Amino acid sequence: MNIKNMFTALVFGLITLFSNHSQGATTDSPYQGAQIIVTLFECFLIALPTSALFLIVWSRWKHLRFKQLLQIVLNSSLVFMLISLVTVNQLTQNISSWLIALAVSHTLLVGISYLLVKQHTNRVKSTLTGCW
């Protein structure tokens, strides 16, 4: 099963898990539409730190340019995660502690990745200046 199919299955599974469908209901309330949006943003809030962790571990064996591009993607994902967190907070008027824990862990992952990229950059610079 490839990554796209796994991500699609995860999204549909989380939507099914968090949706509150009642048996025999024939009308959709406005609250149900907002609940689907909240569930979608919560899926993003779960997927971003998980995929960031896998990418950071995988990037250990990659070259410096890949790590720099990954850092740009991680920075933008951090901004997207904070926007999603604020959106969930506005739509539900409360926020759970596990969402806050995920946001903190993602922030720490981005910070650790930044330090690793900076360390690799300094190592490459010192190697290049040592050759001259």
Higher pLDDT, 18 or 129: 129
Q: Is 25 domain-assigned?
A: no
Question: How many structural domains does the chain have?
Answer: 1
Tell me which residue has tokens 């779960």.
Answer: 46
Which range of residues forms the domain containing residue 11? 3-18+30-131
Q: Is 23 domain-assigned?
A: no
Q: Is 90 domain-assigned?
A: yes
C-alpha torsion angle, residues 120, 122, 126, 129 (rounded to 10): 110
Q: Is 110 domain-assigned?
A: yes
C-alpha torsion angle, residues 104, 106, 108, 109 (rounded to 10): 170
3-class secondary structure, 115: helix
pLDDT tens per residue, range 23-58: 544 555 555 666 777 777 777 778 888 888 888 888
* Rounded average pLDDT over 80-93: 79
Q: Is 24 domain-assigned?
A: no
Q: Is 94 domain-assigned?
A: yes
At 40, list the tokens. 């979608």
Helix, strand, coil percentages in the chain from 3-state DSSP, rounded to 5: 85, 0, 15
**Residue 87 pLDDT > 70, yes or no?**
yes
Q: Is 14 domain-assigned?
A: yes
Distance CA 91, CA 42 (A): 12
pTM above 0.95, yes or no: no
- 38 to 30, 44, 92, 114: CA distances (angstroms): 13, 10, 8, 30
The share of the chain scoring above pLDDT 70, in percent, equals 72
Q: Is 41 domain-assigned?
A: yes
